[in-house]
């Protein structure tokens, strides 16, 4: 599909390297600094196989995104894909799940993780007023950077991704020399329930890559860049996670339980002493900020796309006359992150995130299958997942299995949230219809 007129004014500046780092940056967040212990305590040495299992599940989903992303190249990512297959109503639900249920609440949580990490070094960051000013400064910096252009936003993401990965690479490289191979031997298989619950936690550590596709309308040669960006970025995340788990499990072994809150910091301390823990605390803060920066780059594009489709207020679809960016969407999205960051209200609402991302993935995979039956509207070659329905089926079965692992409250909260979205959508449709009728009568 060719670039839509709705993307008019945007510049295609994101290349394969930029998209790949974008995906790595938003996926490798603060969670990785505690994840090895969470998985290792439950599964022991068998945790390595859990990563491989979840890697296969996520690879199936990523491949579907690679296919549909090379076909639908408009701004909006998941929203654009689902809208193209099922229309505005389905797209409206996905946009709200992605923007509010996943991105805003997730970024608000990360902003607080940044402050909590720095509070260990300096207690001043525990003060609510200082935290508020700190959040405002960080988000203002991201707003200004991203309004100045997607290229500037991607450049910042490239550098912060490299910086956040350096200590992780250090742990992988130098930690291998400290591995005790006995810690990597497992004597019995975990129960299916234990493995399933742990797999659910692991799955969400891989989630978030699709946010990088929110800026689809600003990606160069999307038919080629999107598949390669997803494959390189997603593959890199799987390898990084797997190597970190091997090193952490191999170095700590039975000690994992005693350092469950900061296993990577414990490994770093084994490598370079007490300074290693401080380095990892700062790295966790930088990692969280990097993920928020990717969100501020990409998710406002979903607001922009929805505004151009008449689903959100018109002003959110405005393009900056000088910088060619959706500046109002960037400002409003960042403002909402700030509000939830200082209010703490996201903690009660964050339970929506798990179900939200699973439903988005499910709808995108089904959209991929549906759009395969449509004739190509462009002569440009697009990527197609090999094996017919095998890969999409693996993705669908994986998501349905994970949905059964959600708590009753998570499911009920999501149903209520979607019901509210439906009421908003049909109210908006009724008001638009009524306005048109009144104009005709005048």
C-alpha distances (whole Å) from 132 to each of 45, 286, 347 are 42, 18, 17
> What percent of the chain is predicted at pLDDT more than 90?
9
Domain extents in the chain: 14-373+394-403, 407-442
Per-residue pLDDT at 217: 64
Residues in the chain: 442
What is the predicted pLDDT for the residue at 375?
64
CATH topology (fold) of 14-373+394-403: Amino acid/polyamine transporter I (1.20.1740)
Q: What is the pLDDT of residue 348?
A: 56
Instruction: For residues 292-317, give the mean pLDDT.
Output: 81
Report the sign of the C-alpha dihedral through residues 331, 26, 21, 131, in that order: positive
* SS3 at position 406: coil
Between 39-53, 167-181, 198-212, the lowest mean confidence (pLDDT) is in 198-212
Position with higher pLDDT, 344 vs 329:
329
Burial bucket for residue 285 (CB in 10 Å: 0-12, 13-18, 19+): buried
Tell me what the mean pLDDT of segment 362-386 comes to.
79
Of residues 151 and 91, the one with the higher pLDDT is: 91
SS3 category, 14: strand
* Pair 183, 250: CB distance under 8 Å: yes
Q: Tell whether the model's pLDDT for residue 53 goes beyond 70.
A: yes
Q: Assess contact for 256 and 263: CB atoms under 8 A.
A: yes
Name the percent of the chain lying above pLDDT 70: 90
Compute the distance between CA of residue 83 and CA of residue 72 in angstroms, rounded to an integer. Answer: 10
Assess whether pLDDT exceeds 80 at residue 211: no
Q: Calculate mean pLDDT across residues 53-68.
A: 88
Residue 2 has pLDDT above 70, yes or no: no
Per-residue pLDDT of 127-163, as tens digits, reads 889 989 999 999 999 999 888 877 777 777 778 888 8
Give the mean pLDDT of 257-263: 75
- The answer to whether 228 touches 235, Cβ cutoff 8 Å, is no
């Amino acid at each position: 599909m060719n670039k839509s007129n709705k993307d008019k004014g945007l510049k295609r500046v994101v290349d394969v390297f930029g998209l790949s780092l974008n995906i790595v940056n938003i996926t490798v967040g603060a969670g990785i600094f505690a994840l090895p212990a969470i998985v290792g305590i439950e599964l022991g040495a068998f945790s390595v196989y859990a990563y491989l299992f979840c890697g296969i599940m996520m690879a199936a989903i990523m491949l579907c995104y690679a296919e549909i992303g090379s076909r639908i190249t408009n701004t909006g990512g998941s929203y654009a894909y689902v809208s193209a297959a099922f229309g505005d109503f389905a797209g409206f639900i996905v946009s709200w799940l992605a923007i509010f249920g996943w991105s805003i609440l997730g970024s608000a949580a990360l902003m607080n993780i940044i402050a909590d990490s720095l509070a260990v070094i300096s207690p001043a960051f525990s003060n609510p007023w200082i935290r508020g000013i700190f959040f405002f400064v960080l988000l203002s910096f991201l707003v200004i950077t991203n309004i100045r252009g997607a290229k500037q936003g991607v450049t910042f993401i490239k550098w912060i991704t490299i910086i956040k990965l350096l200590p992780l690479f250090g742990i992988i490289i130098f930690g291998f020399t400290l591995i005790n191979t006995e810690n990597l031997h497992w004597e019995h298989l975990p129960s299916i329930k234990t493995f399933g619950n742990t797999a659910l936690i692991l799955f969400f550590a891989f989630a978030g890559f699709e946010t990088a596709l929110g800026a689809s309308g600003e990606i160069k040669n999307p038919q080629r860049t999107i598949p390669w960006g997803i494959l390189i970025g997603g593959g890199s995340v799987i390898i990084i996670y797997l190597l970190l788990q091997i090193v952490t499990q191999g170095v700590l072994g039975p000690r994992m339980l005693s350092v469950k809150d900061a296993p990577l910091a414990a490994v770093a301390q084994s490598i370079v002493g007490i300074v290693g823990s401080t380095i990892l605390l700062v790295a966790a803060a930088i990692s969280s900020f990097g993920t928020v920066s990717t969100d501020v780059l990409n998710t406002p594009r979903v607001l922009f796309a929805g505004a151009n489709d008449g689903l959100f207020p018109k002003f959110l679809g405005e393009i900056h006359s000088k910088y060619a960016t959706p500046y109002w969407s960037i400002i409003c999205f960042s403002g909402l992150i700030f509000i939830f960051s200082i209010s703490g209200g996201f903690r009660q609402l964050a339970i929506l995130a798990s179900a939200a991302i699973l439903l988005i993935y499910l709808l995108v995979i089904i959209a991929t299958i549906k759009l395969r039956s449509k004739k190509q509207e462009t002569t440009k070659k697009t990527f197609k997942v090999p094996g017919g329905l095998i890969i999409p089926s693996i993705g669908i079965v994986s998501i349905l299995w994970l949905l059964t692992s959600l708590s009753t409250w998570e499911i009920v909260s999501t149903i209520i949230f979607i019901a509210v979205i439906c009421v908003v959508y049909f109210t908006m449709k009724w008001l638009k219809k009524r306005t048109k009728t009144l104009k005709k009568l005048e």
